[in-house]
Amino acid sequence: MREVTPSATRTEMTWIVMPGQTNALDTVFGGQVMAWIDVCAAVAAQRFARGAVVTASMDSLLFRAPIRKGDIAVLQATVNWAGRTSMEVGVRVDAEDPNTGARVHTSTAYLTFVALDEDGNKREVPRLKCETEDERRRCADAEVRRQRRLQARAEDKERRA
C-alpha cells in the first residue's frame, strides 16, 4: 500500500480580501472563510488520495479574530489522519497585514473527506506515514476527534429512530 506523509499534502492558499467579500464592518463574511477552508482542505485531501474527494463534515468553526478588508487571508491545510476511505484535514487560517507581514491566527477547522472512485463509490486511501512528533501528535488528536464524531453520529441516529 502506498504511504504518504502529511508534509506531502501541505497546501497554502492566499487571498487579498476585497470589498465584495466583506460585511458592513469591513470584515470577511464567515461563509466566505468557510468556502476558502473547504477549497484549501480539498486540495490537501486530493494530494493525499490522488483522486476525487468529497467533504463529509466540518467540525465546529470558531472565529477567533476577524480578517479585514485589505488583509491577506492565509490558509494552510494538511492531512492529519487517514482511515480506510476517509481522512481528516486540518486548516489554519491567518490574517496577514500586507504592510508589516504580521499574522494573526483567526480560525482553525477540521474537515473529514471521503475518497471516491470514477463511479462515485468510496475507495481506499493510502496509509498516512507520520514522521515527526508533531505529525504523530496531530494524528492522535485527530483520532480523538474522529471518535467524538462517530459518537455524535450514533447519538443522532438514535434520536431519529
Rounded to two decimals, the pTM is 0.94
| Type and span of the H or E element at 121 | none
Question: What's the rounded Cα separation, in Å, for the pair 118 and 131?
Answer: 31
In this structure, what CATH number is given to the domain that contains residue 141?
A: 3.10.129.10
| Residue recorded with cell 484549501 | 40
Q: Could you tell me whether strands 103-115 and 62-63 are parallel, antiparallel, or unpaired per DSSP bridges?
A: antiparallel
Tell me the residue range of the domain where 103 lies. Answer: 3-160
Q: What confidence tens digit (pLDDT) does each residue in 21-79 have? A: 999 999 999 999 999 999 999 999 999 999 999 999 998 788 999 999 999 999 999 99
Cell of 157: 441516529
CA 138, 143, 147, 152 dihedral sign is positive
Domain count of the chain? Answer: 1
